[in-house]
Amino acid sequence: MPRNPSKLRDHFEAGPAYNKPAEAEGAPHVYHFNLCWHGDRIGSFAAQGDELRWEGYSSPKYEKLFTQRPEDGMPYFLVNMHPDNKLFELLEQDEQITYIAGGLRYLCNLVISRNAPFDLPVMKDRLQTDFDRYIADGTFIGAYTGPFPNDNGEDLQENLKEYWRNRYVPRFSGAEVKLPATLHEFGVLQPAITTPFTHIIKFPTDSGKEGWGFNEWMCLELSQAAGLRTAKHALLSLGKDKPPAVLVERFDIPHNARSEDHNWFLIQDFCTLAELSPDERGRGSMEQVAKVLRQHSTNPQADLEDLYRRTVLSVAINDGDMHRKNIAMLFEYNPQKEQYVNVRLSPTYDVTSEIWQYDSEQKQTLSVQGKTSGIKAKTLIAFGKTIGLSEDRAHELMEDVTSRVAARAVEIARNLPQEAAKYEACRFTANRIATIAVKAAGHFGGSAPAWENVEAPKATFKMVNGQKTFVIQP
Ligand SMILES: Nc1ncnc2c1ncn2[C@@H]1O[C@H](COP(=O)(O)OP(=O)(O)O)[C@@H](O)[C@H]1O
Ligand SMILES: [Mg+2]
């Protein structure tokens, strides 16, 4: 390992930066791409300007696999493959076409390039080791020497930009600052460039989000407490004076590092599955999500209960960001049988609590029984019945989830992992989440341990030196 990996450009070949070809006579350049999944060519498409055109599947067996655009059979996840991160703007890859052309590796072992499958990433993405072995007290205890623990905000952006210029760096979208990483055998964690992308590092940002890494970690713990399958996670220390990041294990890649005999995973979120564009991520209702879930799931009863748990969790911790791209289904394909053997609600990921909001401001993104705020016990019960649960079962789940979440939240707040206890931002986050969860248990018929509420302080965003800054009023 390099001794000081925090300066990426010193030891990684940046690879060719992507340059957009000149446009001939005003007509946008036509690009041709192959789409490969686990090394098999699925089909090809052309891209011109902001139009994508499907050119056909390589074999009829692949035609049934994806939610497809009706006009031309284009897999919808491709239509929806957009950068939605400031970083890609900085890289001048903020248009869909430059984003696709600038990359190579995408989630789920998908490869897109002109020469694929010959133009392959160096290695297939698959887990390399047992994450649990390198977690103690909720915190990653393997070796992580960067990049970035010593960089300040500006350097972080600059370094990430440099890193992402490399075409081999896996592309995946989302709003927060993230780094694809490899957890190697013996617990060595490094950025993924030529190595398998197994984990995601999500960095906390400032302006009121210093505790965001811890926030997501705690909410993932609460998802687990709610009885949901949840992405494996750990706090990641970023060195002194910096609240931790959250390290999340991918659930869309093979788990066995060696066996070639494995199923292939495909994530399709509820934008893709509902044939909506990413801009419409906040549109619609949980009832619509449930309907789509029922159409695809190989175990609809269990999945509808899980979707119900996920909804109760979101209300109970004030997760204001449960939009259609933050909930998804995981499709598990068996290449020998040439069919999906399991299609289920995916493990929970990207769940956070809006700790700065007052109770009166709590709001869901997708509606529940027509409501995004003022959701009451009877709203949740009515929702449960609409999606096919019995009234008794809806009650039972609501009470169970809110009780377990409150109990676990208080337990975490009272026994913070050492890595979090050091930081005021984390202590405050834990106290706020526990307060929200305990109140929710009260509203939704659950039970909660004794707890002294910590309320959101009066705080606002102000412009300081031309920067939007979070300021707590005394
Ligand atoms: N643990 C995971 N395994 C596989 N894919 C994931 C996992 N977590 C997130 N993703 C995928 O990556 C995308 C971005 O991650 P997310 O955690 O939602 O980041 P952001 O906070 O930036 O929105 C998600 O929409 C999802 O498709
Ligand atoms: Mg997200």
pLDDT in tens, 119-176: 776 688 999 999 999 999 999 999 997 776 455 556 666 777 778 788 888 888 877 7
Cα torsion 84, 85, 87, 93 to 10°: value is 0
Q: Is 181 in the pocket of ligand 1 (CB under 6 A)?
A: no
Residue at 11 is within a domain: no
Place 50 in a pLDDT band, splitting at 50, 70 and 90. Answer: confident
**What pLDDT is recorded for position 176?**
76
Please give the distance, rounded to the nearest whole angstrom, from the Cα atom of residue 350 to the centre of ligand 2. Answer: 5
Sequential DSSP letters for 303-367: HHHHHHHHHHHHHHTT-TT--TTSSEEEEEEETTTTEEEEEEEPPB-S----TTS-GGG---SSB
Residue at 14 is within a domain: no
Domain match, 77 and 203 both? no
Domain match, 204 and 282 both? yes
Count CB neighbours of 15 within 10 A.
14
**Which atom number of ligand 1 is nearest to the Cα of residue 107?**
5
Residue-number span of the structural domain to which 33 is assigned: 23-113
pLDDT tens digit string along 183-238?
A: 999 999 999 988 999 999 998 876 667 899 999 999 999 999 999 999 999 999 98
Domain match, 105 and 54 both? yes
Domain match, 88 and 203 both? no
In the chain, what percentage of residues exceed pLDDT 70? 89
Please give the distance, rounded to the nearest whole angstrom, from the Cα atom of residue 131 to the centre of ligand 1. Answer: 18
**Which atom number of ligand 1 is nearest to the Cα of residue 252?**
4
For all residues of the chain together, what is the average pLDDT? 88
The pTM for the full model equals 0.92
- The alpha carbon of residue 113 and the mean position of all alpha carbons in its chain are separated, in whole angstroms, by 24
Residue at 204 is within a domain: yes
Place 365 in a pLDDT band, splitting at 50, 70 and 90. Answer: very high
For residue 259, give the DSSP letter.
Answer: -
Residue at 448 is within a domain: no
Domain match, 77 and 152 both? no
Domain match, 91 and 190 both? no
β 139-140/110-113 pair status: unpaired
Mutate to test the pocket of ligand 1, among 88, 109, 349 (most ligand atoms within 8 A of CB): 349
Please give the distance, rounded to the nearest whole angstrom, from the Cα atom of residue 281 to the centre of ligand 1. Answer: 14
Please give the distance, rounded to the nearest whole angstrom, from the Cα atom of residue 66 to the centre of ligand 2. Answer: 21
Would the pLDDT of 364 be above 60? yes
**Residue 51 burial class via C-beta count within 10 angstroms: exposed 0-12, middle 13-18, buried 19 and up:** exposed
Please give the distance, rounded to the nearest whole angstrom, from the Cα atom of residue 259 to the centre of ligand 2. Answer: 31
Mutate to test the pocket of ligand 1, among 172, 197, 319 (most ligand atoms within 8 A of CB): 172
**Which atom number of ligand 1 is nearest to the Cα of residue 251?**
3
Residue at 464 is within a domain: no
Residue at 411 is within a domain: yes
- What is the rounded CA–CA span in Å between residue 237 and residue 141? 9
Closest C-alpha to 157, from 243, 239, 90, 248: 90
Please give the distance, rounded to the nearest whole angstrom, from the Cα atom of residue 349 to the centre of ligand 2. Answer: 8
Domain match, 94 and 226 both? no
Q: Give the mean pLDDT of 338-349.
A: 97
- What is the rounded CA–CA span in Å between residue 409 and residue 313? 12
**Which atom number of ligand 1 is nearest to the Cα of residue 267?**
27
Domain match, 244 and 347 both? yes
Half-sphere exposure of 407 (CA within 13 A, CB side): 11
Please give the distance, rounded to the nearest whole angstrom, from the Cα atom of residue 84 to the centre of ligand 2. Answer: 10
- What is the rounded CA–CA span in Å between residue 108 and residue 375? 36
pLDDT tens digit string along 297-318?
A: 999 999 999 999 999 999 999 9
Q: Is 350 in the pocket of ligand 1 (CB under 6 A)?
A: yes
* Tokens 């993104």 sit on residue: 365
**What pLDDT is recorded for position 145?**
79
Q: What distances in angstroms separate CA 202 from CA 126, 129, 236, 432, one per listed residue?
A: 19, 20, 9, 21
* Total domains present in the chain: 2
- Count of residues for the chain? 474
Mutate to test the pocket of ligand 1, among 78, 125, 131, 267 (most ligand atoms within 8 A of CB): 267
Q: Is 174 in the pocket of ligand 1 (CB under 6 A)?
A: yes
- What is the rounded CA–CA span in Å between residue 81 and residue 432? 35
Domain match, 358 and 393 both? yes
Contact 273, 329 (CB under 8 A): yes
Residue at 319 is within a domain: yes
Q: Is 341 in the pocket of ligand 1 (CB under 6 A)?
A: no
Q: Give the mean pLDDT of 429-448.
A: 97
Q: Give the mean pLDDT of 54-81.
A: 91
Residue at 381 is within a domain: yes
Would the pLDDT of 460 be above 80? no
Domain match, 136 and 272 both? yes
Domain match, 93 and 230 both? no
Q: Is 167 in the pocket of ligand 1 (CB under 6 A)?
A: no
pLDDT tens digit string along 178-190?
A: 889 999 999 999 9
Q: Is 251 in the pocket of ligand 1 (CB under 6 A)?
A: yes
Q: Give the mean pLDDT of 254-270.
A: 88
β 233-236/245-249 pair status: antiparallel
**Which atom number of ligand 1 is nearest to the Cα of residue 248?**
1
Which stretches of 81-140 are DSSP H helices? 86-90, 96-102
Place 22 in a pLDDT band, splitting at 50, 70 and 90. Answer: low
Would the pLDDT of 409 be above 70? yes
Domain match, 74 and 148 both? no
Angle of the 300-316 helix axis to the 212-225 helix axis, nearest 10 = 140
